[in-house]
Amino acid sequence: MACFLACLPPRLLLVVGLLLPLLPDSTTLLVAAAGPSVHHSPLTGEVVHYFGTRAPPKNATVNDYLPPPSKDTWYIPPDGWETTKPGTALRTRAHAYPTLNIRNAIDTFQVLYRTTDSRNNASWSVATVFIPASHANCTLPTTSPSYNASACSHGIVAYEVPSDSADPDAAPSYLLQMREPYGEMRDMLARGWFVLVPDYEGPGASFCAGVQAGHATLDASRAVLSIAGQFGLQMDRVKLGLWGYSGGAFAAEFAAELAAEYAPDLRIDASVIGGSSPNLTTVDERMNSKDTAGLVVTSILGITVQQPDARAFLLRQLHPTGPYNKTRFMNATTMTGADALDAYSGQNVFDYFVNGQADWADPAMQDVINTDAVMGLHGVPTMPSFYYKAEHDEMSPVDETAAIVADFCRKGANILFHRNTLGGHNDELWSGRLRALEYLSAKLDGHGNITIPATGCQTVNVTIPLDPLYLLPDWWWTDGPGAGLGLAGAG
């Protein structure tokens, strides 16, 4: 903690002094992680919890929220859905959220859509779309004499929220009713963009299944664009971007790789990939036996959801009894990412296996990981792309990302790659946000305060300090550690 405080920018030292007395000994802010990693408070270094159990806002009751997916019949696809084309909108729910807790959003709608899983089987998922407050003056329908096109949005970003869970009821379409994790959605909405959030893990919660995540992201974009004109999106000049950090980057990056072959009809104007983790094996080794160990458990469960042989091997190799047993391991299938982080914190996950790490390294497991959780093997991004990563990323070596960027560039990609000489994985989540937004602005709106190569690739070493006060999410100032400080405008 002392080293962390000593390295903070001067403007944050005062804030740290204000916030530390408010933090309990064991911080339970909101739920955690992005991943295959976990994020920490930029002020204290504590694990940041989001997406978990939360008391409802004042005067709100359980009836002010949609039920979880397992209890919401709207999630059941209609008869015959399997025969439709990928990207087909199967069902739409306008004004989806009874209670909207994300600033700068005026409304939501949801789309149930057809997609394809990692084994190329027909599947389905749900996308939730947040409409910016600036859209309020977009008078509909478009055929109305009072239709005001200049007030209607034309930009839409498929934003990949880190799910980190092997529980289908921990899907973003359900949990985002409560709050967003980092404030990135708030900031995109402030720029007047529709924000599309897919449940990219699919109905089985296939955490870390990259092909599934990529397909679900692309098909969510197809499905939403097929109906978004009804909600005022300017379809004659629409621009589409992808953005994700860490676990969210996992989905966005696979979508960028798969787009040319899987969705050649879909025009993507930009992809933004932050804190990427190109190889799940490397990341799991780094997360094990730390406060991130719970995400090793959920990644192993998630990657085997669609792989019956690997799941059968996993179940055979888990200890039936003892302190690290099969029941305790499988309990993660009913946990949010935050629950898993708490339940398995500090554990050596390989203690659950009969043969320890050798079982995890067995081809029965590694073949699945290498097929479905390693980037750079499924195509080359054909859209302009921005990659950003900290030089000292402790979750995934920066050189692994540099290697896939270099390979894409040799094959004709257009990529700007920022390597930040300051900070680690969690720092870059905050430090990289403004550059990510400026890149998206350049590609969606035609103006952005960032230098981008018109063609080819450019790698730039940047030195961006951690200074996140004005980037912190709203909940930080309302019911997080900054509550009562009178600094809500900074969030």
pLDDT score at 468: 74
Say if residues 257 and 380 touch (Cβ distance below 8 Å).
yes
Say if residues 100 and 108 touch (Cβ distance below 8 Å).
yes
405 half-sphere exposure, CB direction, 13 A CA radius: 28
20 pLDDT band (50/70/90 cuts)?
Answer: very low
The Cα–Cα gap between 194 and 130 comes to 6
pLDDT single digits (tens) 166-208:
999 999 999 999 889 889 999 999 999 999 999 999 999 999 9
Q: What percentage of the chain exceeds 90 in pLDDT?
A: 74
Nearest to 295 by CA among 165, 168, 169: 165
Find the mean pLDDT for residues 419-436.
94
- Give DSSP secondary structure letters for 131-184: EEGGGGG--S-TTSTT--GGGS--EEEEEE-----S-GGG-HHHHTTT--SSSH
pLDDT score at 147: 67
Nearest to 194 by CA among 240, 126, 258: 240
pLDDT score at 481: 73
pLDDT score at 150: 79
The Cα–Cα gap between 27 and 254 comes to 34
Find the mean pLDDT for residues 136-141.
76
**How high is the mean pLDDT of the chain?**
87
Whether residue 431 lies in the annotated active site: no
Say if residues 85 and 114 touch (Cβ distance below 8 Å).
yes
pTM above 0.85, yes or no: yes
Domain boundaries, the chain: 1-264+277-377
pLDDT score at 237: 94
User: From the candidates 37, 118, 221, 246, which is the catalytic residue?
Assistant: 246
pLDDT single digits (tens) 262-278:
999 999 999 999 999 99
Which of 83-87, 97-101, 308-312 is predicted least confidently?
A: 97-101
Which residues, in sequence order, are CB contacts of 361 under 8 Å at separation 6+? none
Residue 291 has pLDDT above 80, yes or no: yes
Find the mean pLDDT for residues 130-151.
78
Which residue did the predictor score with more confidence, 31 or 273? 273
pLDDT single digits (tens) 443-477:
999 999 999 999 999 999 999 988 777 788 888 87
Find the mean pLDDT for residues 57-76.
82
Whether residue 246 lies in the annotated active site: yes
Residue 151 has pLDDT above 70, yes or no: yes
User: From the candidates 425, 427, 441, 474, which is the catalytic residue?
Assistant: 425
- Amino acid identity, position 65: Y
Nearest to 400 by CA among 283, 284, 491: 283
How many residues are recorded in the chain? 491
pLDDT score at 474: 85
Whether residue 474 lies in the annotated active site: no
Task: Report CA-CA distances (Å) from 392 to 248, 273, 389.
Answer: 19, 17, 9
The Cα–Cα gap between 332 and 197 comes to 24
Indicate the fold that domain 1-264+277-377 takes in CATH: Rossmann fold (3.40.50)
Residue 134 has pLDDT above 60, yes or no: yes
- Amino acid identity, position 117: D
Say if residues 215 and 86 touch (Cβ distance below 8 Å).
yes
